[in-house]
Chain A
Amino acid sequence: EVQLLQSGGGLAQSGGSLRLSCAASGFNFRTYGMSWVRQAPGKGLEWVSGINESGDDTSYADSVKGRFTISRDNSENTLFLQMNSLRGEDTAVYYCAKDHHDYWSKYGVDVWGQGTMVTVSS
Chain B
Amino acid sequence: DIQLTQSPSLLSASVGDRVIITCRAGQGIRSYLAWYQQKPGKAPKLLIYAATTLDRGVPSRFSGSGSGTVFTLTISSLQPEDFATYYCQQLSSYPFTFGPGTTVDI
Contact = CB atoms under 8 A, between A and B. Distances in A.
A11 interface: no
A47 B89 contact: yes
B55 A100 contact: yes
A107 B49 contact: yes
B103 to A, nearest CB: 10
A19 B7 CA distance: 36
Nearest to A104: B91
Interface in B54-106: 55, 85, 87, 89, 91-92, 94-101
* Chain A, interface SS category: strand
Contact of A114 (B38, B43, B45, B97): B43
Nearest to A99: B91
* Chain B, interface SS category: loop
Most buried by A among B55, B94, B95, B97: B95
B46 interface: yes
B25 interface: no
A95 to B, nearest CB: 6
Interface of A: 35, 37, 44-47, 50, 59-62, 95, 100, 105-110, 112-115
24 contacts: A35-B96, A37-B98, A44-B98, A44-B99, A45-B36, A45-B87, A45-B101, A47-B89, A47-B95, A47-B98, A50-B94, A62-B1, A100-B49, A105-B91, A106-B91, A107-B53, A108-B36, A108-B46, A108-B89, A108-B91, A112-B43, A112-B44, A114-B43, A115-B43
